[in-house]
Amino acid sequence: MTIALLILLPLLGLWTILASSLLNAAIGLAATSATLTLVLFTIESPLAGVFELSVCAGLITVVFVSAISLTSRYTDHEMAERDSSRRKRFFLLPVLMAAVGAAFWFLGAEQPVLPELAASAAGEVREVIWTIRRLDLVGQILIVLSGVFGIVVLFKSRKECRCGCEAKEQLP
Amino acid sequence: MPITLVVGPLLGVLILNLFGKKAMNGLAFTLACAIAIAQMALVLAFPGFWTADAGFLTEIFGWDAGVDSLAKVMFLAIPLVTATALMVGRQVIGGADRFFLFANLTILAMAGMNGIVLANDLFTIYVFLEVTAVASYILISFGRGRDALEGAFKYLLLSSVATAMLLTAIGLMISIAGGTSFALISDALKSQPNHLYAQLSLALFVAGLFIKSGLVPFHGWLPGAYSEAPSPVSVLLAGIITKTTGVYTLVRLVITVFGPHPTTQGLLLAFGAISIVVGAIAALTQNDFKRMLAYSSISQVGYIILGLGGGTEIAIAGAVLHLFNHAVFKTLLFVNASAVEQQTKTRDMNRLGGLSNRMPVTGTTSTIAFLSTAGIPPFSGFWSKLLIIVGVWKAGFPGYAILGIAASLLTLAYFLAMQRKMFFGKLMIGFEDLKEAGAWITIPAILLAALTFGLGVAAPWLFETFIIPIRSIL
């Protein structure tokens, strides 16, 4: 089961990167995160699984989709040009991913992971989030806030300009 | 109560946004500056703050670790540069709405940097590195021009590579240490220093942080990001963000977690020396003054890494002092760059000349900053470079020490060239009506120049207060 999911994971990652539209890429990212969550549950890391599912598959996807809603579509001509250049740009990516995967596979076989790993990761989710890693939660909140401001800075003002309104502010 | 240094800025952002942009636009600058100035006051005047119990905040966030002298140096530098960037931003960012966004992102970046300094756990460092990085990408692209977006994208890409390296290294460390706290990892590295995962993890950590620090040959993102970002963001990036995310993190991990290791020491010395020389030579060939300052940063960060690689108490003390000094004089140089860019609308040094005639404050403070960067007495940069060079020499690396001295001459050369092209000589035609940039640029420039001079004169106080206590953590 875990091996099948681990094979599926990079394939979904590739699909995310190569997807022709931003919306498909956001959906691909959510699917990748959901698969990673399953991997984390199968290797008995429920804490990491819950974080991955809530933050990456959930919250980040919502932020991405909100950002995409503020963009406009490419024309067919632009899309064709973009598809062609993207395929050329990423053709080595699957090879690179296979090489990195193989390297880790052999490294793992040479140096087996110590048993403490499983013991340390399998704490109760609630206890770990609210007792051991509370400071990291503040960090998560700060990252999400930065992302929200990023959307406003990068997309909202641009949309205002495209709609024909005059930009109210001067660029710094 | 150090946890309030992360929670306070977060509350500041929440307060600013609670009542809506329109209601809080006018307050954004005041509140953001108040947060930064309060932090400086806590470092300088309230020693009890660092050991006091935060009460319910400690209960909520569960953080009660101590703060050492190295952290205090950073807790002073972070708000100093942040407050300066806010002042420059007030002068050059037009429109209350955009300044409101800038102030929010600056506070978030400050909270991220404070979190990095506060962390005593590798994963917590990673989380706050990401906080600072995300805020930085957005700040660089704040100008929304093609070049700014390209600079932000380059930073995003290389920073992602660094992040992947750091995460892999953390994963490997967990497998040998069973956790991510500094204490656990330090013990694991002492008990099995030759474990393949330990060595691989160290290499990945050092390489990832070299990218974040912008050391040669991992510096590809840095000149574009520094030069294309809006002026106040350049101040923030060059003054403190890369120093905290890359250099401080490396210093902290080498001192507290990795410990002395011949391979790490060799890497630090070699990459430090290469960065000093390549950065200085590249700076000599630039015509864009912001790009020149960016390459100068690479060279100066090389000195810090060289001191760290020296490994002796005096060399590391020098590295930490240079980290602080560099934050001060590089911030001053970028504030001056903001003034020139704002007033002349060009960054090409060949189109400038004789600006000191019309902008005497900018010209004078720029001279003080470059003399300090080049390590000329009595400015602060002299003391930190002296400590680094003496420390590296005493550690048994006279070749690296001589290279450090020789590269200081290169520093003097490119700054003299910059000063001559921009500020000295006859005023270029077209700049007859030029005047100083506004008060929000000239006042911080004067204060930073006074600090550069004052730190040089008050070096004994500085050693007693900040530098000598660093020995206790080595």
The SS3 call for residue B181 is strand
- CA atoms B149, B153, B156, B158: torsion sign: negative
* Residue B36: predicted pLDDT: 95
Nearest to B134 among A111, A146, A157 (CB): A146
* Predicted TM-score of the model (pTM): 0.84
Cα–Cα–Cα angle for B167, B168, B171, nearest 5°? 85
A157 band by pLDDT with thresholds 50, 70 and 90? low
CA dist B255 and B252 (Å) reads 5
Residues of chain B with pLDDT > 90: what percent? 42
pLDDT at A149 over 90: no
Residue with the bigger pLDDT between B433 and A50: it is B433
Inter-chain touch A171–B144, beta carbons under 8 Å: yes
Residues in CB range of B470: below 8 A, 6 or more apart = B68, B69, B70, B313, B316, B317, B320
pLDDT tens for residues B25-74? 778 899 999 999 999 999 888 877 777 776 666 666 666 666 888 898 89
Measured between beta carbons, the chain A residues lying within 8 angstroms of B151 are none
The top-scoring range by mean pLDDT among A105-109, B59-63, B101-105 is B101-105
Of A157-171, B163-177, B209-223, B323-337, least confident by mean pLDDT is A157-171
Which residue does chain A place closest to B89, by CA atoms?
A172
DSSP string, B351-387: G---GGGT-HHHHHHHHHHHHHHTT-TTSHHHHHHHH
Phi and psi, residue B181, nearest 5°: -70, 150
Place of tokens 């950002």: A67
Q: B157 in contact with A at a CB cutoff of 8 Å?
A: no
Distance between CA B82 and CA B88 in Å, rounded?
10
In angstroms, rounded to a whole number, what is the distance separating the alpha carbons of residues B297 and B219? 11
Contact (CB, 8 A) for B138 and A153: yes
- The minimum CA-CA distance between B255 and chain A, rounded to whole Å, is 23
pLDDT surpassing 50 at residue A122? no
pLDDT digits (tens, 9 = 90+) for B428-469: 888 888 888 889 999 999 999 999 999 888 877 777 766 666
Question: Is A168 in Cβ contact with B95 (below 8 Å)?
Answer: yes
Asked whether the predicted pLDDT for residue A59 surpasses 70, the reply is no
**Taking 70 as the threshold, does the pLDDT of residue A31 lie above it?**
yes
User: For the segment B370-397, what is each residue's pLDDT rounded down to a tens digit?
Assistant: 999 988 888 989 999 999 999 999 999 9
Which of A14, A64, A65 is closest to A35 using CA atoms? A14
* Shortest distance, CA A147 to any CA of chain B (angstroms): 7
Option in A132, A149, A170 nearest B101 (CB) = A149
Long-range contacts of B112-115 (CB under 8 A, 24+ apart): B112/A139, B112/A142, B113/B74, B113/B78, B113/B240, B113/B241, B113/B244, B113/B245, B114/B5, B114/B6, B114/B9, B114/B39, B114/B75, B114/B78, B115/A135, B115/A138, B115/A139, B115/A142, B115/B6
Q: How many CB atoms lie within 10 A of CB A81?
A: 12
Instruction: Kindly list the domain boundaries of chain B, sorted by start residue.
Output: 260-474
Q: Given this model, what pLDDT does residue A115 score?
A: 44
The torsion angles phi and psi of B288, rounded to 5 degrees, stand at: -85, 120
Helices (H), B285-359: 289-310, 313-344
Q: pLDDT tens, B74-87?
A: 999 999 999 999 99
Interval B299-324 mean pLDDT: 91
In this prediction, residue A131 carries a pLDDT of 62
pLDDT of residue B192: 82
Residues of A in contact with B11 (CB under 8 A): none
Q: What is the pLDDT of residue B79?
A: 96
pLDDT (tens digit, 9 = 90+) per residue, B413-425? 988 988 888 888 8
Q: Which two tokens stand for residue B153?
A: 């994208």
Say what the pLDDT of residue A170 is: 39
Single-letter amino acid code for the residue at B468: I
| Per-residue confidence band for A3, with pLDDT thresholds at 50, 70 and 90 | confident
pLDDT at residue B470, as a whole number:
64
Cβ-nearest to A114 among B62, B92, B175? B175
Q: Is the pLDDT confidence value at A158 over 60? A: no
Residue A135 contacts residue B124 (beta carbons within 8 Å)? yes
Q: What is the dihedral of CA B252, B256, B259, B265, to 10 degrees?
A: 10
**Above 70 in pLDDT, residue A171?**
no
For residue B210, what pLDDT is reported? 92
Residue type, B461: W
Output the pLDDT for position B7: 87
Does residue B1 surpass a pLDDT of 50? yes
> Per the CB < 8 Å rule, is A116 touching B178?
yes
Q: Is the CB of B10 less than 8 angstroms away from the CB of A168?
A: no
Burial of A91 by CB count in 10 Å (0-12 exposed, 13-18 middle, 19+ buried)? exposed
Q: pLDDT (tens digit, 9 = 90+) per residue, B338-381?
A: 999 989 988 899 888 888 889 999 999 999 999 999 888 889 89
Q: For position A144, what pLDDT does the model report? A: 81
Pair A145, B108: CB distance under 8 Å: yes
Q: Tally Cβ neighbours within 10 Å of residue B458.
A: 14
Does the pLDDT of residue A119 top 50, yes or no?
A: no
Q: Both tokens of residue A163?
A: 């709609």
- Please say if the pLDDT value at position A63 is more than 80: no
Distance CA B350, CA B156 (A): 31
CB within 8 Å of chain A, chain B residues 42-61: 60-61
List of chain A residues whose C-beta atoms are within 8 Å of the C-beta of residue B133: none
| Mean pLDDT, rounded, of chain B | 88
Predicted confidence at residue B38, as pLDDT, reads: 94
